[in-house]
Each structure stands twice: as structure tokens, then as C-alpha cells.
Structure 1
Amino acid sequence: MTRQIVLDTETTGLSAEGGDRIIEIGCVELVGRKLTGNNLHLYLNPERDSHEDALKVHGISNEFLRDKPKFAEVAQDFLRYVEGAEIIIHNAAFDVGFLDKELERVGQPAFERFVDGVTDTLAMAKQLYPGKRNSLDALCDRLGVDNSGRTLHGALLDAELLADVYINLTRGQEALLIDLGEVAQPGVHAERVDLSGFDLPVLAASEAELAMHAAVLAEIDKASGGRAIWKAEKSTL
């Protein structure tokens, strides 16, 4: 089955190139689109203080991080955990940029060299909901994901919320793209059915149904002030 890791980070600031560092990594594992509980949560000593604005976002004090391991000390454990998985991140360019910089510091290749691709849920949401707010909080509200416990940003909590958001965002894809080979149980033989041989009947609408349909269209046209788009399309045919 497909192994996916939903990942989030918290950082000392907004610029990996400017020297900001990762202070927290939260990872939630999905196998076959189901939570496994095999999660990873790390606090890191960034070897610098967080910017004041960042502290207001994540609330993780500099003092709390003083005795936490440095990224170099946990890098191999982290890479073993994510290796070969599809990684799901909200606004992936930000987190991957920070991970690439941390890996560069310890002499490792870029993050995407270790994983089976990165999926950006922000890009997905912008396609599904163009022109709307697509922050994690906005998506939680839109998709019915309970984020009432999110008073501050936290990498593990945000990864858990994003896992629920991702499952909701892709629920239609699951129905369309499901692979029988992945869901078959041991000892159960699943066969694909060729539907091309079925002769499906075409049911024509009755006169009464056509009349009701015409009445509804007339009401919509009247409400639009005679600007119904199908009338304009019909006149060009």
C-alpha cells in the first residue's frame, strides 16, 4: 500500500537563506489513506533565537529549545522515517526550502532525493477553490475538520489537521482512482469487469418531465432578467 507522510515544520523565522532554522518537525503517517499512529515529532535546538514575530505564531520559547538535539543529531533518524514515502505539505516550497538548507549543513543531498515526491496541498486547494482563502484554518472550516485546539501553530498538531484536510480534499479521487490490487484481502480474488458488453437502455424524459424542465428554465431566465446563458449559446448554434 502507498505510504504517505504528512509533514509540517516550525521555524525561527521566514528565511532559510537568511539563516533561520527549523525548531520543530511534525510527521503523521498514512498507509492506504489511513492513520497508522506511527508519527514522528521532534523539537530542535536551532542554535539561534526565534524572531519576535515567529514566537507569536508558534509560542515555542528559546529557553525551551536550549537542551533539545541539533538537527545534525537526528538527521539520519528523520531521513530513515521519511525515506521512500510520498510527502504531503501545505505550502511545500517553504518547508522543503528549510529542510534542504538543514540537510545541506550536514552534507546531505536535497530532501526530495530521499522521498517519492512531494504533494503541495496549498496548490491543490487553489485549484479546487480559486479565489478563496486556502490557509490550513480556512480549509479546516470549509471541510469540517475540527481545529478548535489550534490556538498556536504546532508542527505535529498542524500535520494531524492537514492529514484530515488532505483525506477530505482527495476523497473524490479515492473513489475514481482506487486500485483493486491495493484493497484486495489475502485469499480474495478480485477481477476487473469489462462493461463494454452491456447494452444500457436510454430512458427518454416523458412529456410531463419535459414540461416541468421547461418551466424551471423559464423561472431561472426570468430571475436573471432574460440573461440566461443557455439562450445566448442556443442563438449561436
Structure 2
Amino acid sequence: MSLQNPDNRSIVLDTETTGMPVTEGHRIIEIGCVELIGRRLTGRHFHVYLQPDRESDEGAIGVHGITNEFLVGKPRFAEVADEFFEFIRGAQLIIHNAAFDVGFINNEFALLGQQDRADVTQYCTVLDTLLMARERHPGQRNSLDALCKRYGVDNSGRELHGALLDSEILADVYLAMTGGQTTLSLSGQGADGGDGDASRPSEIRRLAADRAAGRIIRASEAELAEHEARMAIIAKAAGAPALWVQLQEAGQPASS
């Protein structure tokens, strides 16, 4: 199948999962992508957290820090599949250890019964930066962190893995590996895009820095209302409020 890409469009992509391997029923819980056109970051990105309908392994949570509780109420892959497919369709996918991510993406489409999309290489070409790095630096460490150090790419906000941040860092690494500039990170935009400002720090990196610093982000009024509604449903099904709610109502501390 001949794939046409007249705009020279690349999507740098990363995923986080409940664990591995995919053959043991593990699922994607985060997808992060940034767009390059003509070796320039456009500012367009696609990012979503997903409800996997299973718990993550403790080892996986230790890597990415995405808890099972955090994913409650997040969309399922079926809800974002069309938008995600259209975002990557026809592009060159740039992925570090592509076999891992492509295998999980194909599995998600297959679970939806979308066999026509269950092999994304029919719609996208794939460039694996891990294989590229191994060819250029045989016998050396070629993890994303090692490549950042080798090519002078800022990964100071990467205390935990995160699909969106890692995709932006990988874009910088790819440009450095292939002779391009590494200072073109733009302030992040949604999947509908827009012009960025190369003089400003990337919004993606700013959010990662907040996460690394442990900065508290307060829930919005809408999020609090949704939480209360969900707790009411759980309490009704269980026939009693949650234990910590009962302790609070009794005037006792919820934890020691």
C-alpha cells in the first residue's frame, strides 16, 4: 500500500498503559501526540487519558504515576477512537520503541471490532527512534533520558513518564538526531491547532513542571459536583456512605 504524505506531516506519539504485555489484557490509559510539519512543531497536539476498565499494575503506576482512581470517569477509547485516527491518519508516526505503542494501538481498535483500523501501518508510516538510536550509537544506552543527555535536550520536568510530555521531548530528540534544531517547542494547542509562539516556553513542559513540583491543582466546581454525584450513586448501591464519610460525620479523623 503506497501512503501519500504531501505535507511532510509527522506525529510524534507516546502511550502509557496499565502494564505489559498487551497479550495479557493490558490497555492504554494515556495517549500523547505532537505534530511536526516540515520538521517544525506546529503547536497542534492530541492528548487524552483513558478509562481502561481494568486496574494498572503497581509497577506501571510507579513509572507513570497515573493511579486507578485518577482514571475513574475518563473517556474510554471508543469515545476518542475516530478523533485519534483522523489525527494520525496519513502521517509518519515517530515513536520510541514503536512495536510497543503500535501493538497497543492496534489492539484498542481490534477490541472495538474495527478490523480495518487494527493495523495502523496501513494508514501511517512508522519511524522507530529506538532502532535509529541503536544504529547510530551501538552498545550505548538509548533510552529517551539517555538520548536527551547525549543531544542536550531539556528533560528536567520528566520525573515521571507522561505520554504528552514524552512525545514533545522525543520530537526535540528526533530533530537533534536528524540534524534539526531543538528550540522550536511551541505553546501547546488542542487538536484543532493554531499558531504558536516559539519564544515562549512550551505549555506542555510548564504543565509537567507543575506536576513534578507537586503543585496542587484544585478541582473545579463542575468536577466537585460530578464527584459528589458519583459518591451518591456508590452510596446508594452499597446501602451506606463511604467509611471516610461516616467517620467525618461522626467527627472522627478519616486517617491516623
TM over 0.5, yes or no?
yes
Instruction: Return the offset for 1:114.
Output: 2.3
Question: What residue number does 1:133 align with?
Answer: 141
How far did residue 112 of structure 1 move?
1.4
**Residues 16-57 of structure 1, C-alpha deviations (whole Å, 9 max, x = no match):** 111000000000000000000110001000001100000000
The 1-side partners of 2:166 and 2:10 are apart by: 16
CA distance in 2, matches of 1:143, 1:162: 11
Spell out the pairing of 1:78-157 with structure 2 (5 A cutoff).
78-108=84-114, 109=117, 110-115=119-124, 117-157=125-165
1:16-27 correspondence runs (5 A): 16-27=22-33
Structure 1 contact 26–155 (Cα < 8 Å) conserved:
yes
Q: Structure 1 residue 40 and structure 2 residue 46: aligned? A: yes
1:136-178 deviations in whole A, cap 9, x for unaligned? 0000000000101100000000000000000011117xxxxxx
- What is the distance in 1 between the residues matched to 2:123 and 2:17? 22
Per the TM alignment, residue 12 of structure 1 is displaced from its structure 2 partner at its CA by 0.2
Letter of the aligned partner of 2:123 in structure 1? Answer: F
Runs of 5+ unmatched residues, structure 2: 1-6, 181-256
Tell me how far apart the structure 2 counterparts of residues 77 and 56 of structure 1 sit (CA, whole Å). Answer: 29
2:143 partner letter: S
**1:111 offset after TM fit, Å?**
1.6
String of CA shifts for 1:104-136, please: whole Å, max 9, x gaps.
011223121222x10000000000000000000
4+ residue runs over 2 A deviation: none
Query: 8 Å contact 1:25–1:42 — kept in the other structure?
Result: yes
Helix, strand or coil at the partner of 2:168: helix
Give the whole-Å Cα distance in 2 for the aligned partners of 1:111 and 1:13.
Answer: 21
Letter paired with 2:51: N
- TM normalised by structure 2 equals 0.66
C-alpha distance in structure 2 between counterparts of 1:83 and 1:92, whole Å: 16
Work out which of the two has the higher radius of gyration on C-alpha atoms and give 1 or 2.
Answer: 1
Match status 1:167 vs 2:175: yes
- Over the aligned positions, Cα root-mean-square deviation in angstroms equals 0.9
Structure number with the higher helix fraction is 1
Amino acid at match of 2:165: L
**Residue identity matched to 2:21:** S
Alignment map for 1:216-235 (pairs within 5 Å): none
| Match of residue 50, structure 1, among 43, 56, 69 | 56
Q: C-alpha distance in 2, partners of 1:62/1:78?
A: 23
Quick one: distance in 1 between partners of 2:18 and 2:8?
Answer: 33
Q: What's the secondary structure of 1:38's corresponding residue?
A: strand
The total of aligned residue pairs comes to 171
